[in-house]
Structure 1
Amino acid sequence: MSARNALQKHWKSLSAGAAEFESFAGHKNMLQLIHLRWLAVIGQISTILLATQGFGIRLPILPMLYVLAVLIAFNIGSHLRWHEEVSVSNRQLFFALLVDIGTLTAQLYLSGGTGNPFAFLYLLQVILSAVLLEVWSTWLVVAITTFCLMGLSRYSLPLQLPFDSPFSLFGLYRDGMLICFLLNAGLLVYFLTRISRNLQERDAQLAGLQQQAAEEEHIVRMGLLASGAAHELGTPLATLSVILGDWRRMPEFRDNPELLEELNEMQHQLKRCKSIVSGVLLSAGEARGESAAKTTLNHFLDALAEEFRTTRQVTGFEYHNRNPEDIPVVSDVALKQMICNVLDNALEASPDWVCFEVLREQDALTLRVTDRGPGFRPAILEKLGQPYQSTKGRAGSGLGLFFVMNVVRKLGGSVNAQNLPAGGACVEVQLPVTAFKL
């Protein structure tokens, strides 16, 4: 049941992570809108100066400056808020675009309405909404901008030129259309490129999260199978234990040293099988009476290395613990199995020699396992940690590093594997010290 609960928890984590990435991308896009708004402020000031000083157009300067002041104040407030807060929703982006549409409408009303060529800047707002907002929000922006244009076509303050002006309104409108087109095109290319990059990063993060959830679901299902198999193995192992105990009391075995030695070895291996079954059940959350024991980091690693030395048939095993600061920890079965998995893989590739090193650098602990085997194939290194990537050629093989990668990722660490120039391979597991602490 605990494994099924873990599976539900993984999918809830996926949904929460997806919302978090969506909000993070929205924060980046909100910052892009703030930058665009500063450009709009500079552009409006430049246009007002050019129109009044360069072409002599009469504009209501004071009301237009009031609108600019509102836009500047809103942008300063937006910058202060979104500099600290990183969670941005669709409604908040929608409101920011509404403010831009409102100030643009006010400025157009004061400067000719639809007779002002810069009315085509509404298209910029519509396109930005199509990229940034949900569908319903985009269509609402389309409706609002259409309503604004319809209103400006009937109600606005007309543009006025001096009687002796060498310019005509039609010529100015034509030149303004060209400037507006260049402005729209340049801003769209620049900002849509940056916004698209934000959305691509979000999609990549979501794809990675979905891959992680799929891998964790695979592990949970494997855990269910392993737990069921461990339960099923309990009865035959108990039966074998009783049979071996009976054999030990029989004269045929008791009086034969060779058979008695083999019987002792069988009982030793049977005891190890029971220990493995207990470990599987403990990892699945169904401990058979055993409880997590408090220990220290060095004692935990030293005991693990000693157990590996005595339970595996390895000719040469080197263990170097270079952790200068011992800390209290709780012995974790999953962590122990993860380290043993790396050691077992090295032993299978290099039965004659395996080296296990423990290094400490500030708050990071590095577990380095080195062997003298054939090393990893390039294809394996490229897909490190993916299931069923193995050189062993057996059905179902290649899950070792897959489990290692997922356990380490859960603990906030990383795994690095490489081939050594002199031959052999090296796998480094880097974990934060907090992953071991009480």
Structure 2
Amino acid sequence: MTPAQSLSNSESIAYVPRAANPLRLETLVLLRWLAIAGQSASILVVHFVLGFDLPLAACATVIAASVLLNLGLLIRFGPAHRPGSRLGFIQLAYDCLQLGSLLYLTGGLGNPFALLLLAPVSVSASALPSRETVLLASLVALIATLIALFHLPLPWDPAAPFTPPPFYLLGMWVSLLCGVGFIAAYTNKVAHEARQLVDALTVTELALSRQQQLSALDGLAAAAAHELGTPLATIALAAKEMRREVAEGELAEDMDLILEQVARCRAILGKLRNLKSAQADIFEKVSVSDVIAELAKPHEHAASSMGKTISMSKSEFGGEEPVILRNVALLYGLGNLIENAVQFAREYITISAGWDARRVVITIADDGPGFPSELLSRLGEPYLTTRFRDKGEADPRGPDGAGGLGLGVFIAKTLLERTGATLRFFNARANGHACVEISWPREALNDADSEPWP
């Protein structure tokens, strides 16, 4: 089995899900300590430095509640605990209510610190599910509405009291609600894409890990065959000597059976030894045309059974044909793209290699429906979906085409780019004919002896 074959189906890779909540309790507690410090400093400066009257007892009580909450959470769970979405939502909802209480005591929306109501929403959008974020944003909108209507006077000079104009308060209320909606949507989108990228890279690493495990098993099998060869030869020799001394009969039949099974074991060990030589061949340097021929060979039978033809060509524009190391990243990346082309082609698949003194280019093309034009610039992104998948219709490019999860293309693109390649996806004709052009600087392939996956 070649690396291209063993890694050709990324969907079969066992997937390890990420943690349900990446936010640690220590992070929430630390943010709350910062809020406590900032709130305490602000109240002390306003009251004792600026000389404005404040309900100190009520403000101190609200801040003390946060102190007690932090201490209770640390004692109950410990800083390394990862709260579920429900507990995380409850904590952030408390932070909103606590800040809303302080704003009620210090002037409502006229207080410039009302902007801090956006902070819990941004934390929720980056770490909690969308449902909790929507609920928290709704709570902030309710708090903003209440403190706009009901609040104690804004701390100010008693000799010249200041009351914010109603239109100013209305503007603050509208801007706060717009900010909540924008931050919640934007932060949630960015965090979601980041989590998808992490998931896709995890699958990529699992693909290479599986191939490394298979390679290690090949080596272990060959070593075991070598170690078992000597005792098996001893058994065979002893069995032959005993067979000569045993007369024909039931015991002789048993000795013949032993010799037959020993011969069978030798044949099996011979196959295991061949794995070692095959494994060595995988990592030798070969020409580019030999590499694409090897990668196409496992798919020729499948293509022929579907009435499709794979053709290969090479074009020399200067310089000798590149000789490269067939590392796992290169084999899997190209092999997966060839497999996609075979799957989506109508009648033929063309694999061409060209080179000059500076660059090496491999082009994989098929006569299938092509890539959706609206997604050409996004091909290679993880978990890319289209209207076919959203509407439950059949995607013309198959279950893992541009309309599927897109992990196969993402993994192939990621691995090939790590070898120094640049990929370009395009349609050769207006009605389809997908093409993938993979190009390397010649010196990048000359350095292919390096580890393909750092």
Please confirm whether the aligned pair reaches a TM-score higher than 0.5, indicating the same fold.
no
Q: TM-score band, normalised by the shorter chain?
A: 0.3 to 0.5
Greater helix proportion? 1
Give the structure-1-normalised TM-score: 0.42
TM-score using structure 2 length: 0.41
